[in-house]
Amino acid sequence: MGFWTSYRLRIQRRRWLVRSIRKRRELRSIADRTPSINRDDLLLFSTQRNEHVRLPYFLNYYREKGVNHFLIVDNDSNDGSLEYLAEQPDVSVWHSRKSYKRSRFGVDWLNWLQLRYGHGHWCLTVDPDEFFIYPFCDTRPIRALTDWLDASSIKSFSAMLLDMYPKGRIDEQPYRAGQDPIEIASWFDAGNYTMDKNKLYGNLWIQGGPRSRVFFPNEPEKAPALNKVPLVKWDRRYAYVSSTHMLLPRGLNQVYDEWGGEKASGILLHSKFLDTFTVKAAEELHRKEHYAASVEYLAYAAALKDNPELWCKWSEKYINWRQLEILGLMSKGNWA
């Protein structure tokens, strides 16, 4: 990387940071329990809007995995989720009425919270419909992973988004609060992912999966990106650039090996496609608060009208992380 590119990226990173500091004014603290954060605590950052039904399972899942504190931005919910979050003993929650899109889909808000509270902590940034899977997650807490990453001098950990879907129509089985969404959306595409290197930021750009297969069969270039780096040993100089797909400084995006080896990596099980999705898709279509003028949601709405089945004969049913490892979707790397 030349001096000029390096300089440009530095300026860009500073700009995102300044922007996030400016955007902090859009956040109003509802419940601030951040003084209770200890030095080594594992923090989880998230934005949410009207996800009340998902929150109980979401919080419990990550509590069990060893997350110590949740820092959540609520984007103007009206389903009681804000109140629910404010009651939780290990949650700090902020509220914003401002545009999700103008905050670059929540990235500015979270960059601010990470700048303010994340410095020196391992920070996990996930949405309420994303469940972090990592090697040995059935027997070891996330702390085991972060301790190992610390010992290996690794600062960021990759976890590709894996879209999960139910068999049959998406809206066939209703989701109840507290239920494991993977019980319903337990299927995934095992081997139709494409990846390309982003020369500027150094990250891999991964696409594919059911969304590309069903919603964008003829324009796969429009399918959403699936590469994510959700777990980072945060430093106040870091900034997420676009969702959690990539970060600056760009060394943090180097989560893959280029010399034939496999680095350790995980998966984010993405349980977006539940019965709640159809309603959400319709709403998002009106709000137009999502990426690229909600092109994704336009495609969903079009496809969902006639045949909302993502399942096919070759779909794979989720069992555990070892299955994902064998399929080559994630890797233990040299963690044993």
Partner 1 sequence: MTVGIVMLVHTALDRAEQVARHWSVAGCPVVIHVDATVSRRVYNQFVKALEDVPTVRFSERHTCDWGTWGLVAASQSASEMMLKEFRDVRHVYLSSGSCLPLRPVKELIDYLSARPRTDFIESATTADVPWTIGGLSEERFTLRFPFSWKRHRYLFDHYVELQRALGVSRKIPNGIVPHMGSQWWCLTRQTLSAILEDPERDTYDTYFKRVWIPDESYFQTLSRLFSTNIESRSLTLSKFDFQGKPHIFYDDHLQLLRRSDCFVARKIWPHATKLYEAFLSTPEGAVKMAEPNPSKIDRIFAKAVERRTRGRPGLYMQSRFPNHGWENGVTCGRYSVFQGFSDLFEGFDHWLSKATGAQVHGHLFHPDGAQFSGGQKVINGALSSSPAQRDYNAIAFLANMIWNTRGERQCFQLGPDDIDAPLGFLARDPNAQISVISGAWAIPLFNSNRNFSDLRQEAARLQKQESEQLDALRSPLSKARIRIWTMAEFIEAPMEPLQSIIDEMGQHSLRRLSEAPRMTDLTGFGQFLQNLKNQGMHPYLMGDFPVNPPGLNQTKLPRKPYLVQ
Binding site for partner 1 (CB under 8 A): 136, 139-141, 143-144, 147-148, 151-152, 158-160, 189-197, 204, 206-207, 210, 212-213, 217-221, 227, 255-265, 312-316, 328-336
Longest dimension (CA), the chain: 55
Nearer to partner 1 among residue 294 and residue 331 (C-beta): 331
Nearer to partner 1 among residue 26 and residue 189 (C-beta): 189
Whole-number Cα distances in Å, 105 to 102, 181, 286, 289: 7, 24, 16, 8
Cβ atoms of 265 and 330 within 8 Å: the answer is yes
Nearer to partner 1 among residue 106 and residue 210 (C-beta): 210
* Smallest gap from residue 274 Cβ to partner 1 (A): 20
Nearer to partner 1 among residue 11 and residue 336 (C-beta): 336
* Smallest gap from residue 232 Cβ to partner 1 (A): 15
3-state secondary structure 110-129: HHHHHHHHHCCCEEEECCCC
* Smallest gap from residue 153 Cβ to partner 1 (A): 8
Cβ atoms of 135 and 264 within 8 Å: the answer is yes
* Smallest gap from residue 137 Cβ to partner 1 (A): 11
Instruction: Tell me how far apart the alpha carbons of residues 313 and 310 are, in angstroms, rounded to a whole number.
Output: 10
Nearer to partner 1 among residue 292 and residue 312 (C-beta): 312
Packing angle, helices 291-306 and 276-287, rounded to 10: 140
Question: What one-character DSSP code corresponds to residue 137?
Answer: T
Nearer to partner 1 among residue 53 and residue 268 (C-beta): 268
Question: What one-character DSSP code corresponds to residue 115?
Answer: I
* Smallest gap from residue 165 Cβ to partner 1 (A): 11
* Smallest gap from residue 332 Cβ to partner 1 (A): 7
Instruction: Choose among 103, 102, 83: nearest CA to 93.
Output: 83
Instruction: Tell me how far apart the alpha carbons of residues 162 and 104 are, in angstroms, rounded to a whole number.
Output: 22
